[in-house]
Structure 1
């Protein structure tokens, strides 16, 4: 499955868990665009990802992590295991950097 398709499934999962309609995103996007995202026909920019997540009331990294939970490299891992990998990688990358 392509990344765009996995992202669409993750977006739809969160939207439904939050009991939101596609129309709930009207302040940041059209219903048509949300539908295209959920069907894996397109992918958002970082700015659009941030706007979508503001409507969903989640951190953008949460939606990205969900996207990759069904990827072969993370398939079968728990959320905690994926977060541990991300945390370890962030710590390694941020050591001594301007971000850390």
Structure 2
């Protein structure tokens, strides 16, 4: 079995289409050319740009990133989110120890 390769461009395209949005719908935050380049993996967005794009799609940026890493399998998303929750808990617990 081949390992799944995370794909932000695929996730972006899937969410955009699921929301019924054209690339032009992002004109307040991006050009159609830029959206096309993102979806073809020719450019990489900053976190600020991701937040703006997600605002247009009315989703949280973590939804986009989760879809990029989990692919089409909801079970992958559940496992991924459980891992993130464990890691966040570890980081918060460690930071409380270091900075009481």
Aligned residue for 1:8?
9
Q: How does 1:12-91 map to 2 (within 5 A)?
A: 12-70=13-71, 77-91=75-89
Structure-2-length-normalised TM-score: 0.81
> 1: CA distance between counterparts of 2:82 and 2:76?
10
Deviation at 1:76, TM superposition (A): 8.7
Question: TM-score, normalized by length of structure 1?
Answer: 0.81
- Structural mapping, 1:87-98, within 5 Å: 87-97=85-95
User: 4+ residue stretches of structure 1 with deviation over 6 A?
Assistant: none
RMSD of the alignment, in Å? 2.1
Structure 1 stretches of 5 or more lacking a match?
none
In terms of fraction of residues, the more helix-rich structure is 2
Shift of 1:78: 2.5
Q: What are the superposed Cα offsets for residues 40-80 of structure 1, whole Å, 9 maximum, x if unpaired?
A: 1111001101100100111111111111124xxxx895221
SS of the residue corresponding to residue 89 of structure 1 reads helix
